[in-house]
Amino acid sequence: MIHHVKATASSTDGDGGTPSVKDVSLPDYAAEAPGMSGFHGDINELYLHEQADRHLPALLTDLGERKLYDATAQCNRCGYCETSCPTYMLTGRETISARGRNQFVRMLVEGRARNPADAEEAFSTCLLCGACTSACYAKVPTPDIVLEGRRAQDGYGDNFFARAAINTLLNAPAVFGFWLKLAYLVKKTGLPRLATKMGLYDFLGMPGISEAEGSVNHVPLRFASEVLGKDPDLAPGDKKAVNWVYFAPCGPNYLFTEVALATVRVLKRCAGEGVLAENICCGLMAHNYGRLEAAREFARRNILRYEELKERFGEFPLIADCSSCAAFMKSYEQLFTADPDWRPRAKAFAAAVRDILEFIPPEKAGHADKAALAKAGRVTYHDSCRACHGQGIRKEPRAVLHKLAGGSFVEMPESDWCCGGAGAFAFTEPELSNKVLDRKLGNIASVQAGTVIVGGTSCLVQINAGLRKAYPSARAVHYSVFLDEVAGK
């Protein structure tokens, strides 16, 4: 049963803005259980929704498996997370804080929502960075809760381009690659830049595309999987066991091929023999843009491939070099909580995943080349959100960087402040994203860094785009590329 809510303002914001009012489809909990005292049994779900397949049956929180309502109810509104939340810190608005977002979802589930337009803004402006969960004693999984709120909204995930990209990537990756190369060729002609300068995208109501265009300054015409697929060292051959299997996330595979190639060189040098996973996309884009069934299908295919490799080589770590993808793959089990066949398989897959940031021990990292280190200047480390908040990785890359860079390594203030990239956030919320980025750039400049090490490809795009404009003497470099450049000689 769907309960369409048209609301009147009840915002706690102090900005006095008048948001537009839109429909949000909700289960009719208000009719079934009006008021908190009437709550019982399974009403703590958004899943009676006619688009139930757009929702996760349960969330796997640090405190155990929880229905959505129970996860929101873990929030005691203490506000301890507020000073960690970039969108709250930059605006001072309660509705776009972690506490505010959790309350919105709770009210939606309870049928007490009075302003779905405010809810839409609260959900779309969340970076899904997870800084709030790291700060929260109750470990409220706000990013997952926000995603459930987004999925409850009419039309979420129905964007034509996102749907076409996800379907093609899933069902015809070769066709996806063909279209991508065609787009890259067009970019090399300079036509998209011309369109940006003419204001064509703004005129068409798609300013995000010009942001995306301006943020990427080089594109490859050979994908990493094509190059690595021809490397005889990576062929399974008659190998009986391997020390690692490389999973190529979409960013390193399709855009930052130098990252994928560097990761494989580092793995060969520091960890010995390995092979390629020959994977498809991890499914993160489908998961975050409301297409859960597609996300599950991506996951199933990767799990099947992992099981094939395990059958042949036994246990191995599955190494990924984009922290967002590694964090998502570590959470595959959450996709299958209602599926007794796939759940344990997803759990086993997740247990094998390692982010390259956590995989190389300092003693195996080698020694820095003095000339390469001098060229890098002062080195600092940006904690990508999905590494530090999503996977708890903080000390491992620092131990390696300390060893290699010695006194040239400096900590920047607020190293775990989000860069504002957050997948497509930089393109869908450019104004807020730029504000988040400015603070990151200020922190980088404050330590006079020449090189900023990152673990996520979205961070690479975002921080380099900002540095080019505001602080061009510095550059952001992926962790693998740094290890390869500085210690790979």
Measured between alpha carbons, how far is 462 from 186 in angstroms, rounded to an integer? 22
- Does position 263 interact with ligand SF4 (CB under 6 A)? The reply is no
Using CB under 6 A, pick the residue from 24, 56, 68, 75 that binds ligand SF4.
Answer: 75
Looking at residue 175, its amino acid is: V
Choose, by CB under 6 A, the member of 72, 91, 102, 153 that binds ligand SF4: 102
DSSP-assigned letters across all residues of 333-344: GGGGTT-TTHHH
Q: Of 136 and 286, which CB lies nearer to ligand SF4 in the complex structure?
A: 136
Tell me which stretch binds ligand SF4 (CB under 6 A): 62-70, 79-87, 324-332, 361-369: 79-87
CB 402, min distance to ligand SF4, A: 28
Identity of the residue, 336 or 417, whose beta carbon is nearer to ligand SF4 in the bound complex: 417
In degrees and rounded to multiples of 5, residue 276 shows phi and psi of -90, 145
Distance, CA of 357 to CA of 436 (rounded, Å): 24
Asked whether position 77 contacts ligand SF4 by CB under 6 A, the answer is: yes
Question: According to CB under 6 A, which one of 5, 136, 292, 404 is a site residue for ligand SF4?
Answer: 136
Stretch that binds ligand SF4, among 72-80, 179-187, 256-264, 447-455 (CB under 6 A): 72-80
Exactly one of 26, 59, 105, 132 binds ligand SF4 (CB under 6 A); that residue is 132
d(CA 155, CA 157): 6
Residues 330 and 323: their CA atoms lie apart, in Å, by 10
Closest distance of CB 363 from ligand SF4, Å? 35
Site for ligand SF4 in 137-156 (CB under 6 A): 138, 140, 142-143
CA dihedral for 198, 200, 203, 206, sign (positive or negative)? negative
Q: How far apart, in whole angstroms, are the C-alpha atoms of residue 309 and residue 316?
A: 9
Residues 6+ apart with CB under 8 A from 460: 251, 256, 259, 454, 476, 477, 478
Q: Of these, 79, 190, 229, 272, which contacts ligand SF4 (CB under 6 A)?
A: 79
- φ, ψ (nearest 5 deg) of residue 453: -90, 135
Residue 260, judged by CB atoms within 10 A of its CB (0-12, 13-18, 19+), counts as buried
Nearer to ligand SF4, 102 or 408 (CB): 102
| By CB under 6 A, residue 73 contacts ligand SF4 | no
Among 117, 131, 299, 373, binds ligand SF4 (CB under 6 A): 131
| Using rule CB under 6 A, residue 107 touches ligand SF4 | no
Which residues form the interface with ligand SF4 (CB under 6 A)? 75-81, 84-87, 98-99, 101-102, 126-132, 135-136, 138, 140, 142-143
